[in-house]
Structure 1
């Protein structure tokens, strides 16, 4: 279906907490793993963690402020925040973030789509704009995964990190740089326990904190997660490229969710993306769940690595199980001073 109105990326922003943890730093040094062990299995050399008392909402505010500034501080109609680690079980974090950004009584809500959250948020913002329900949408992805990770579990402690990214979508034309061409999303609830916090929800409430630490923190079925991520990210990428009629060799920028370097390499190989079109930052920032794609986008934007108008493919997979992909052209964003 052709649309005369498209959503266009008008601003990108990000925020990383200042605390940097290298593979050889405490508490990771007490996990009986070496720097080489972590790097060869994940591709990660360092990650950023928040200090106690800093919430996902705090990171979202900073990322959102940067994105809005680069977009020229437009009037926002909707704020969508995707996070696995909201500031509170209730209420949602998005309204507080919107208030901190001075956006008034704008519509605002959270999305829980794990590591695929940014693709879900972009699809949501795109749909609101295409339908005429909004002229401008702020999509935020903020995670403080260090707050839900068991420091004694090397399967998660060495991988997960904290950070936030943001994108401003505005109404525009499909032929503009930054225009979202299409998005595809999917889920398979039979795999709900690929990555799960078993205690603390309505199915297993734990108001007194009596559940074992392992059940109060994120646990992941690593090998199964790897296999499902490769399959779903590959399939959704291929189907989206077919939908928008882009030959894979026409894609100049491929950004996958920064989960594990081996997953990223495998998916890109299977889709057929050449090495010089693959971009990431997992080595420096670790797995920041839904924030990972916009963090990479902001790095590339600030470095001027990708030319405006370049065909760009974003893809992600996360616990739930959920997955998504977004096809857009690279935005033409200038820094506003």
Structure 2
């Protein structure tokens, strides 16, 4: 059980995690709804225990982007909260989720649990279980070849960072032991218990930062892939290309030493011409940082194919569309245009 280490302090979290783990393959929609409740419980617990200010009708998103929360919880951890929140919302409102996404977000939730356990619950490294991936199986609405391809990609994704995570958690544990005495002395000087708790969480979160930084790029890509897939685009689970979506697509005429650049995503029409280009920046950066770079990619694609693609630039959460040929730009509320819209 990937969440049993939470049972002593947070039994409800352990139960929610256990449910999601049990049904990730057979009922991914229910599993993701439970994981959404899981992260909402954690956020609510931190707000309550630390007495963080919050509006009466604040949504989960509002709480995650609040300055009082992000000043304590590092952006890299917040990204994982957002990933699970959005996956759960899609499951609840759209139902378009797969067991592959459920297993990925189950592991993201496991990471959040490890962070809470070690950074806030004074848990020990040896008390954290090794993540066990639920046994995947083919669903009725999934072909045998599609299942094999996606499952192989998923297993590779899940395994690639395991050793790095283990080492990072070990370093966190060792650092915590070295800082324990200093933290105790500092705590004596605090005038309020709540401030002490907040400072302790902030300190441990900074230590934990490197533990999760290795996976930030994967989280960002997964978020964008998920948005594209929910809008009808055929997106591979790994870095491979499909007929509809290319990743790291090479273009020339760029301001680099080799004149070569790589588009993060190119969306293709059935006639082989580019419909859109997407430039993704790190989630901690403003999405607009990628605007000019995306324009250069669009210029190169237009020159090669004789058709100018619509420009998207995003950090995984803020998504902008810029149809510069029409001199029009506006913010999309975390939605990429469905593939069918390009056929209008």
TM-score by length of 2: 0.30
TM-score by length of 1: 0.31
Answer 1 or 2: higher relative contact order, Cα 8 Å, separation at least 6. 1
Which of these two proteins has the greater Rg computed from alpha carbons?
A: 2
Structure with greater proportional helix content? 2
